[in-house]
A and B are shown apart, each in its own frame.
Chain A
Amino acid sequence: MKSYEEINRKIAAGDAVVMTAAEVAGYVERKGLEAAAREIDVVTTATFGPMCSSGCFLNFGHSSPRIRMTEAWIQDVPAYAGVAAVDLFIGATQLRHGDPANMNYPGEFAYGGGHVMEDLVSGRELQLFALSYGTDDYPRREVRTYFTINDLNQAIMVNPRNCYQNYNVAVNLSDKTVYSYMGTLLPQARNATYSSAGQLSPLLNDPHYDVIGIGTAIWLAGARGHVYAEGTQHCAIADRNDYGVPSEGAGTMALTADMKQMIPEYVRGVSLRGYGVSLALGVGVPIPVLSPAHLQRACIRDSDIMAPVVDYADDYPENSGRILKHVSYAELKGGGFELNGKEVAAASISSYNKALKIAHRLADEIRRGDFLLAAPLGSLPRESRNRPLKIREAAQ
């Protein structure tokens, strides 16, 4: 057994042994679990993909005379101004003002909240336009100005739900193209899309939330960030296989970090034809090897991870709950799987390439002594369920 303190002492001294979740399974097979657990201190996990439940709080500082913003737009993308005078929140899926959306079906969705976040992190100059009704203490009623992230007091990313533990594989069984948040799905299951780093994915390497909890230090697009809460829709109660892999989405995390420390490569606006805008984000999570059992769980392989295949033409929109079958990430990454006697070409909407890069980057930071672990202050819920929205005809 190792403690967080022991591991952090080794990291600080530059002596920590760190491996990515992609490398560790093979190493443990060669060395044996007990010996490898004594040797390895940290396993790095990562993912990169669209994470719609993302946004950021920005503080602009006060102008002379002051304004208390009540409506605001950044690059014509509406921001939420219902917080303090010069604080704004902008969400990843917010469309730009005047976007025709799906009136020209399928809509293009060239720019939105996710792109504002990408531009911010890239240091580009953005336009702020804000209105107010004017008060005695905040008399200014309109402001139009230009700013970069360096002009802001704070730019704090806040992601209520990231890093779904497992995720659907989307297909389209109908006769016409489906435009979805999982990408363009061709008729009669001519393609399938999935969204997970599989064996590298953070919560699949700690399936029962033993070491990832509230307060865990994470790598969020290059910044040192934290898990601040369970993610929205976190659903710990799920059918799980022998490796703890849930048969559906299950666990999620809420993440936060300082955008001023982020790297543009890992904060990317997303345009999904016919669906809308979003943000793709890179996340790295270190798993401390506190015991052989923790290491064992971090040895999960793509062949052990099964994902549910769901029809996005009918079952997903109708929320029927029907799952067509389960397929392994080994099959998905191998290029496809069989469905109703036909081979379906599978492609990922998350990037394993970037996830791998992040796992290596985080491993390097830990080896250099630049990234210390943080023991969780609290656990992610292990009993919670996910409720559907009930539509009531009348107030009760």
Chain B
Amino acid sequence: MSEPTVTRKLMLFFPRCECEKPIIYHLVKDYGLVVNVFRAKVTPEEEGYLVLDVTGTESDIEKALAFVKTFDVKINAAGKGLHWDAGRCTHCGVCLPHCPTEALFYGNPDKREVAFDEDKCIECLACIKVCPFNACSSAF
């Protein structure tokens, strides 16, 4: 039986530019990963970041991460580029229709208490713009 595939969300931080190297290409070509990039900013002479989903077998993902580590890149495997601050959120819910994946939702509908499902977040950043209370912020 073949090894099952998993999806992992990764946040890659480029302290200085490694952008001349086609890292993503190698993830796809050499390790057979399916890559879904949510956000990227990789500009010469600047700090950069890349937030992406990779789908593949555990062993291929491990090998791919080992490859990424050979560059000057920091990997945050628990990587969330979007932070929802439960303390700042007033649970008004004004963000809900703006969230395309329902990552922001009523966790407790009776109390109308807003919750955030990090796994559903695609980091479109719509919530940052519409939140009146600055409850959502981006790591970048």
**A: which residues have CB within 8 A of B?**
48-50, 110, 183-184, 186, 190-191, 193, 268-273, 278, 280, 333, 345-354, 356
B114 to chain A, nearest CB (A): 8
Q: Give me 28 A-to-B residue pairs in the complex whose CB atoms sit less than 8 angstroms apart, sorted by A's number.
A: A48-B90, A50-B132, A110-B134, A183-B94, A183-B132, A184-B129, A184-B130, A186-B98, A268-B133, A271-B132, A271-B133, A272-B132, A280-B90, A345-B96, A347-B92, A347-B95, A348-B93, A349-B132, A351-B90, A351-B91, A351-B92, A351-B112, A352-B91, A352-B112, A353-B90, A353-B92, A353-B113, A354-B91
Known: A270-B133, A349-B132. A356 touches B111 (CB 8 A): yes
Chain B contacts with A in 125-139, Cβ cutoff 8 A: 129-130, 132-134
Most chain A Cβ neighbours within 10 Å, of B94, B113, B130, B132: B132
B92 and A348 contact, CB distance less than 8 A: yes
B97 within 8 A of A: yes
Give the chain A neighbours of B111 by CB distance below 8 A: 353, 356
A270 and B97 contact, CB distance less than 8 A: no
A49 to B134 alpha-carbon distance, docked (Å): 15
A175 to B129 alpha-carbon distance, docked (Å): 19
A347 to B134 alpha-carbon distance, docked (Å): 17
Q: Which of B91, B98, B113 contacts A191 (CB 8 A)?
A: B98
B97 and A191 contact, CB distance less than 8 A: yes
Give the chain B neighbours of A348 by CB distance below 8 A: 92-94
- Given A186-B98, A268-B133, A347-B92, 6 other A-B residues pairs in contact with their CB atoms under 8 A: A183-B94, A193-B94, A272-B132, A273-B130, A278-B132, A353-B113
Closest residue of B by beta carbon distance from A114 = B132
B130 to chain A, nearest CB (A): 5
B101 to chain A, nearest CB (A): 14
Q: How many A-B Cβ pairs are below 8 Å?
A: 66
Give the chain A neighbours of B92 by CB distance below 8 A: 49, 347-351, 353
Give the chain B neighbours of A48 by CB distance below 8 A: 90
Give the chain B neighbours of A347 by CB distance below 8 A: 92-97
Give the chain A neighbours of B96 by CB distance below 8 A: 345, 347
Closest residue of B by beta carbon distance from A106 = B129
Give the chain A neighbours of B130 by CB distance below 8 A: 183-184, 273
Give the chain B neighbours of A50 by CB distance below 8 A: 132
A50 to B114 alpha-carbon distance, docked (Å): 18
Q: Which of A193, A272, A278, A353 contacts B112 (CB 8 A)?
A: A353
Known: A347-B93, A350-B92, A356-B111. A280 touches B98 (CB 8 A): no
A26 to chain B, nearest CB (A): 13
A273 and B129 contact, CB distance less than 8 A: yes
A271 to B95 alpha-carbon distance, docked (Å): 13
Closest residue of A by beta carbon distance from B110 = A356
Chain B contacts with A in 98-118, Cβ cutoff 8 A: 98, 111-114
A181 to chain B, nearest CB (A): 10
Give the chain A neighbours of B94 by CB distance below 8 A: 183, 193, 347-349
Give the chain B neighbours of A269 by CB distance below 8 A: 133
B97 and A280 contact, CB distance less than 8 A: no
Give the chain A neighbours of B132 by CB distance below 8 A: 50, 183, 270-272, 278, 280, 349
